[in-house]
Amino acid sequence: MRASSVLAIASVFLAYLSACGPQTSGRSRLQAAGSYDLDRLKQQTIAAIDQACGDGKGAGDTKVTYDECRLIVAGSAVRESSWDVDKSCEAWGNSNDPACGLTQSRWTDARAVGLTCNPTEHAVAGYICNALTGLRNLRCKADGGTGCDQWGQGRTLYLGIKKHLGGNQGVFESYKYDMETVYNREDVRQKLNISGPVRPWQEVLSAPGS
């Protein structure tokens, strides 16, 4: 067979594969930064998120509802740890105070957001503290909100994400996209037993946290 015929057949075959490739519903995975199937969302993770958002310094103090809080933390944690409460610690520039666990938070992060617990502890109390630290960090509670003020006005979740990412702004859009995707995923809401109304993502994103 001539080389030109082989190339023509190959081109048709590749076009067929492109048109008939695997189909996904989008319900059980994220597209921006990898695959996050719902079975990764373990009960231990759900419990930590639930208790953090129900804490006195959780949902109410950060100006979101309990259900909105749980979706926010779940969205951030999918990027930080793939919903793994025991994700290993990473130095990220400070080996003496590494970022650990569900929201990849540091001991000093907890102190900055007004907590006395230890987010690096591999125990139930540590898991809850970690989720609560991540929430308060994103809701501009760190250092009285001065970190968020450097990124804009209003101390919103939008600015909280920017502040949290710091010098890594190149991933801001995909990070925000993944949080929005989790927030709107019906299967995640069912897993978290969320049946009541929550505000639209864009409204939560722009609402002040303090």
Q: Is 51 inside any structural domain?
A: yes
Confidence of residue 140 (pLDDT cuts 50, 70, 90): very high
Range of the domain at 134: 38-138+182-199
Q: Is 101 inside any structural domain?
A: yes
What's the domain count of the chain?
1
Q: Is 122 inside any structural domain?
A: yes
pLDDT score at 5: 44
Q: Is 107 inside any structural domain?
A: yes
Q: Is 146 inside any structural domain?
A: no
Of the candidates 175, 210, 208, the residue with the CA atom closest to the CA atom of residue 103? 175
Query: Of 83-87, 143-147, 200-204, which range is least confident?
Result: 143-147
Of the candidates 190, 197, 72, the residue with the CA atom closest to the CA atom of residue 131? 72
Report pLDDT digits (tens) over 181-190. Answer: 999 999 999 9
Please report the DSSP string for 29-51 in residue order: --SSSS---GGGS-HHHHHHHHH
Residues 55, 75, 102, 53, Cα dihedral to 10°: 0
Q: Is 77 inside any structural domain?
A: yes
Query: Of 35-39, 88-92, 114-118, which range is least confident?
Result: 35-39
pLDDT score at 23: 31
Q: Is 95 inside any structural domain?
A: yes
Confidence of residue 35 (pLDDT cuts 50, 70, 90): low
Q: Is 73 inside any structural domain?
A: yes
pLDDT score at 36: 74
56: pLDDT strictly greater than 90 = yes
Q: How far apart are CA 164 and CA 145, in angstroms?
A: 12
Average pLDDT over residues 45-49: 98
pLDDT score at 122: 95
Average per-residue pLDDT for the chain:
86
pLDDT more than 70, % of the chain: 83
Average pLDDT over residues 77-103: 94
Burial 115-136 (b: 16+ CB within 10 A, else e): bebbbbbeeeebbbbbbbbbbb
Structure tokens at 97: 């105070």
